[in-house]
Structure 1
Amino acid sequence: MTTNNRLTTSWGSPVGDNQNSMTAGGRGPTLLQDVHLLEKLAHFNRERVPERVVHAKGAGAHGYFEVTNDLSKYTKADFLSEVGKRTPMFIRFSTVAGELGSADTVRDPRGFAVKFYTEDGNYDLVGNNTPIFFIRDAIKFPDFIHTQKRDPKTHLKNPTAVWDFWSHSPESLHQVTYLMGDRGIPASLRTMNGYGSHTFKWVNKEGDAVWVKYHFIADQGVKNMDPQLAAKIAGEHPDYHTEDLFNAIENGDYPSWTLKVQIMPIEDANTYRFDPFDVTKVWSHKDYPLIEVGKMVLDKNPENYFAEVEQVTLSPGNMVPGIEPSPDKMLQGRLFAYSDAHRYRVGANHNMLPINRPKNEQANYQRDGQMRFDNNGGGSVYYEPNSFNGPAETPENKTSGFAVNGVAESVSYDHDDHYTQAGDLYRLMDADERERLVANIVASMKEVKLDEIKQRQIQNFYKADPEYGTKIAEGLGLSVGEEVK
């Protein structure tokens, strides 16, 4: 068999762009015709059976969300419509890279996925405990996660692959700085913030829209864990976070988070100094201050882990009137990939399971499929449009539009400054925290086999802040390349 260094699709067609998904213009939505993107995501979702490909290890709890501030001028979402209104919800916390039996206290982002059972259907806000992410285009997600998983030859974690990918993807630098710092290992699931991470769109009853980012601020405060203690607990008590959450709720010590949002006028997206749809960037709180929305309280443990925590299926594509997606390319890919993963892992009728079923009555023409355990629509009309008074569309709930322009092609974001915000985060840390950050990175990068990879990543750190790059280079016994000074 001859070696072919030319990247191809599964049917052998050469790939012209593996870094940028195809969109309708620079800020347009991702196009269905990008079959390479769809193939990558669909194949990726089917690579593990039967646990989740990512976020396999998780803990969950029931609770409620209560509105404390009237923001109806921004959104017509019914569950946010009046102060004092309570909506039942379920949350699943998780690590990202490890398997179902992995340790809770590893250095890893934490999934922070909330399902609101609203009167207009389920709204899923599927985020992390970080306001940013490693990549900004879904076409790179399978490759990124492959580096976090086990080497196919050794079946061991591979730091060389991790840092090789990051060094070739400078957009990851902001999240890497966040992850390798103190917040990379939360002390508990109760003492970490949560974020929607992506930019979303809110639309009010008049049809006026704004861009929005979500922040769940832990009322218990943010507390982190020393890496040496985390390693000790990982060996002695790998389910530490899971038990801590369960016991707190069982003992009546109900954790809570205050939900706040940043609001950006629609037109600001064209002039803001960073692309507001780039999930590797944040919006300055000085430019767009946090506005309180309400409080989330967890007050009930699951009765059965498998039925609730393991079988809960959340997707950022599950939205309600008043909340819509943005042109964020990472979000656009997740709108497809998450529900596709659930259809594969749990089944075509996963949304009919009790933990996933909406509180309001479902009314559609979906029939059959594996594990259909209701009356399958009975003898009612099974197509639309029809003349038999079957469920019909409601034009007032159409998604609002936004202008797009440009050529349909694979394009990157307009802004490629991957260093300013990472450097700002580094400089925001005090001296002791910076030292811990550097020590964590050096310890991890010492396992990388090629100096070429180390050198490339050192240059990324140096571009963010000269001290940052220099200290890591010194810790690795290397020097910063002259070309970046």
Structure 2
Amino acid sequence: MTTNKNNLTTSWGAPVGDNQNSMTAGSRGPTLIQDVHLLEKLAHFNRERVPERVVHAKGAGAHGYFEVTNDVSAYTKAAFLSEVGKRTPLFVRFSTVAGENGSADTVRDPRGFAVKFYTEEGNYDLVGNNTPVFFIRDAIKFPDFIHTQKRDPRTHLKNPTAVWDFWSLSPESLHQVSILMSDRGIPATLRHMHGFGSHTFKWVNAEGDGVWVKYHFKTEQGVKNLSPDVAAKLAGENPDYHTEDLFNAIEKGDFPSWKLYVQIMPLEDADTYRFDPFDVTKVWSQKDYPLIEVGRMVLDRNPENYFAEVEQATFSPGTLVPGIDVSPDKMLQGRLFAYSDAHRYRVGANHQALPINRPRNEVNNYQRDGQMRFDDNGGRSVYYEPNSFGGPTESHENKQAAYPVSGVADSVAYDHNDHYTQAGDLYRLLSEDERTRLVANIVEAMKPVEKEEIKLRQIQHFYKADPEYGTRVADGLGLSVPQQIK
């Protein structure tokens, strides 16, 4: 006998006789603990929220596909990139970085741009942002950086002094700060912004030859941004503006799309290029390494359930497939651990088994048990390796390609400390109107900083990037550029 599909049931499938009134001792008596349906509802309600992401808590997502439009098989053996016309299903999550789950979409903040490709060789996650660089280049600084973006532990308010204190003491942040404070700091919609892998990765072809690679997703909708006034107005009137815009566009068939390009660098160039190619605070010149088209990403289906698909989606730059490896980028190296570890804490040890994260190909391994193991847990199959019972074994041809390393084990900084050239180049590329808005945004953001020494220290960084840049910020704050750097 089965329950009528229209009947409300408990989580164990029994029909519910009354969902409007608790069981009590008489009409006015206390509630009875034997009302197991009531207890189940309240207990489950208390546990409906998994811990929100420490960063990238507010996000929106969509399903789609990636289609290869150019032959890149000379550079990578990744199966999903193997032939022109090949389509691979995917899921994308866009997000703000610093705000909480209920924060406004239209704040000045980088946007996460995470793509999960469901390939025949397993999932491949490309976890980037809408900017080609980042604030820091060593993962050991990441917790401190994020603390400055969050709330002050005493006031529980955002703290501009902490933000600019950290940035002024971390000059490698200048390039990203200049992008963030420019027009690009507030995208008009999630559809009208580019995406970047940001880090340097390694592609390896079928012959075992490798190249360094950077990813660029170029929006086919065109880049559009919001002015601070409009963004603030939208934040008050519709804090979910970006989420709503993406959903409505897809729902009405206006499917957003991006072209994927890569920059390719020969391995040996890494030793002689004028910037460290593994430093995520730097870009590669497109004159030196032109964009090469790879394919096209289209988002054509909204999630059916936000929690199951967007909130429980987990991404990690360590989710790789044969033909795509990592680089010595120190920030990337830290993320390889931190992202998956965050998901194990937030969603559970078996987060990869959830439908939104589960690979489309068969999974064969010896991982067992753990919370929320909802499949057959490996059944009665052999549960260790090596074994004598025909269990799955490694395939040596899928080892990551080797590369030489050398040096003394030590806490070592990057060799190159030019934090100003690329930030200055960016400033000089801007039109006069764009420079004016950039400076105005910086001045407005720095006005609440409590210590003048922090403002002066940051002004020095702007000045070293471009004297006009630093002077205009100083003038806007009613300060003078320190004489020792003029």
TM surpasses 0.5: yes
CA distance in 1, matches of 2:416, 2:219: 32
Deviation at 1:140, TM superposition (A): 0.2
CA distance in 1, matches of 2:153, 2:425: 37
* 1:415 counterpart residue number: 416
Asked whether 1:482 is paired with 2:483, we answer yes
Map 1:211-290 onto structure 2 (within 5 A): 211-290=212-291
Asked whether 1:384 is paired with 2:390, we answer no
Q: What residue identity is the alignment partner of 2:212?
A: W
CA distance in 2, matches of 1:468, 1:114: 36
CA distance in 1, matches of 2:365, 2:136: 36
CA distance in 2, matches of 1:142, 1:484: 31
Q: What residue identity is the alignment partner of 1:115?
A: K
CA distance in 2, matches of 1:483, 1:366: 60
Map 1:166-177 onto structure 2 (within 5 A): 166-177=167-178
* 1:52 counterpart residue number: 53
Q: CA RMSD in A?
A: 0.7
Q: What residue identity is the alignment partner of 2:408?
A: V
Q: What residue identity is the alignment partner of 1:436?
A: R
Asked whether 1:69 is paired with 2:66, we answer no
* 1:431 counterpart residue number: 432
TM-score (norm 1): 0.90
Q: Secondary structure at the match of 2:410?
A: strand
* 1:310 counterpart residue number: 311
Could you tell me whether the CA contact under 8 Å between 2:59 and 2:96 is conserved in 1? yes
Map 1:443-458 onto structure 2 (within 5 A): 443-458=444-459
Q: What residue identity is the alignment partner of 1:160?
A: T
* 2:185 counterpart residue number: 184
Q: Which runs of 4+ in 1 moved over 3 A?
A: none
* 2:12 counterpart residue number: none
Structure whose CA Rg is larger:
2
Q: Secondary structure at the match of 1:339?
A: helix
* 2:147 counterpart residue number: 146
Deviation at 1:53, TM superposition (A): 0.2
Q: What residue identity is the alignment partner of 2:237?
A: E
* 2:295 counterpart residue number: 294
Q: What residue identity is the alignment partner of 1:282?
A: V
CA distance in 2, matches of 1:218, 1:70: 21
**Structure 2 residues without counterparts, runs of 5 or longer:** 1-48
**Aligned positions, number:** 438
Cα deviations by residue, 1:6-55 (Å, 9 ceiling, x for unpaired): xxxxxxxxxxxxxxxxxxxxxxxxxxxxxxxxxxxxxxxxxx97100000
CA distance in 1, matches of 2:458, 2:199: 26
Map 1:68-217 onto structure 2 (within 5 A): 68-217=69-218
TM-score (norm 2): 0.90
Deviation at 1:455, TM superposition (A): 0.4
* 2:469 counterpart residue number: 468
Q: Secondary structure at the match of 1:117?
A: strand
Structure with the larger RCO, 1 or 2 (CA within 8 Å, 6+ apart): 1
Cα deviations by residue, 1:357-412 (Å, 9 ceiling, x for unpaired): 00000000000000100000001000000000001000000011111111000001
CA distance in 2, matches of 1:416, 1:386: 51
* 2:372 counterpart residue number: 371
Structure 1 residues 106, 145: CA separation in 2 closer, same or farther (over 3 Å shift)?
A: same
Q: What residue identity is the alignment partner of 1:52?
A: R
CA distance in 1, matches of 2:152, 2:237: 25
Structure 1 residues 430, 461: CA separation in 2 closer, same or farther (over 3 Å shift)?
A: same
Q: What residue identity is the alignment partner of 1:317?
A: G
Report percent identity of matched pairs.
81
CA distance in 2, matches of 1:387, 1:69: 45
Q: What residue identity is the alignment partner of 1:483?
A: Q
CA distance in 2, matches of 1:55, 1:447: 25
Cα deviations by residue, 1:152-186 (Å, 9 ceiling, x for unpaired): 00000000000000000000000000000000000
